[in-house]
Amino acid sequence: MKTFFRLLLVLSGALSSSLVFAEDPPSLSKYIDCFNGVGILKLRDRVVLVPANRSGEKGFYIYTDKSAYFYPLGKAQGGSREYNAYYFQLTVPGMQDIFFTYSDPKDGVGGGPGLGVQVQSKPANALVGKYVKIGGNDALDDASRSAFSASLQTSVQLVTQRYLDKVQDNKMEGRPAPDKSSYERVLNACKFHGDKNLRDIVVAESEKLSRANTTPSGGSGKHQPSSPAY
């Protein structure tokens, strides 16, 4: 069965981010714990993808609990009028290979839903022979941590709006307002030492959530939810 994830361009800050860690940087496992609440592009449990540029090359990072890898997109292998498509076979030590299609909007094309990643449980018959094998290429450094942090910072700032969207949905369906506690837990998972930029944003968003009105009126300008728990 194919699992489809759609990424809004809210993660674009990760494409050119820069962050200096004044303290010992957090472990990747802490970032992934945060990502599980606010992230979008999860290839497999605790294997996540973040679009990024590195050394002038457009591509993406793959993060696990212990490693970070960067892969440039290279030459498009397919696509449409709006998208370039790339096909990858990812090898992660201790796991079965992951096959996925990475779709990237073409320059100058607006109005699309954004980046997309389609994960296949096994190689798609039509794509056999087209998958680019990737694996290794360890890139765990300040640049990779910065990209992860930047994507999380952007997603964290949407938590209160997503809560308000859910409030509005429940109101329209005649149901009580959702419990804030699940949203608070999402933010608490992102509140750790070692990344001041992320922590400051989490604190600000927590305060914003605590003040959020549970009986909004009118439209809410909804954002796409990032977690099934929302």
Does the residue 38 lie in any domain? Answer: yes
Does the residue 147 lie in any domain? Answer: no
What was the pLDDT predicted at 216?
46
pLDDT above 70 covers a percentage of the chain that reads 80
89 and 14 inside one domain: yes
What was the pLDDT predicted at 153?
96
Nearest one of 16, 7, 221 to 118, comparing CA atoms: 7
Q: What is the mean pLDDT of residues 112-137?
A: 83
Does the residue 223 lie in any domain? Answer: no
31 and 115 inside one domain: yes
49 and 114 inside one domain: yes
The residue ranking higher by pLDDT, 65 or 20, is: 65
209-214 long-range contacts, CB within 8 A, separation 24+: 209/159, 209/160, 209/163, 209/180, 209/183, 209/184, 210/180, 212/160, 212/163, 212/164, 212/167, 212/180, 213/164, 214/167, 214/177
Q: What is the mean pLDDT of residues 126-152?
A: 91
What was the pLDDT predicted at 219?
45
Residue pLDDT, tens place only, 165-212: 999 999 999 999 899 999 999 999 999 999 999 999 999 999 999 999
What was the pLDDT predicted at 137?
78
The residue ranking higher by pLDDT, 36 or 112, is: 36
- Residue whose structure tokens are 């981010």: 17
54 and 119 inside one domain: yes
Measured between alpha carbons, how far is 138 from 93 in angstroms, rounded to an integer? 12
Does the residue 31 lie in any domain? Answer: yes
The parent domain of residue 190 ranges over 157-210
Does the residue 230 lie in any domain? Answer: no
Instruction: Give this prediction's pTM.
Output: 0.79
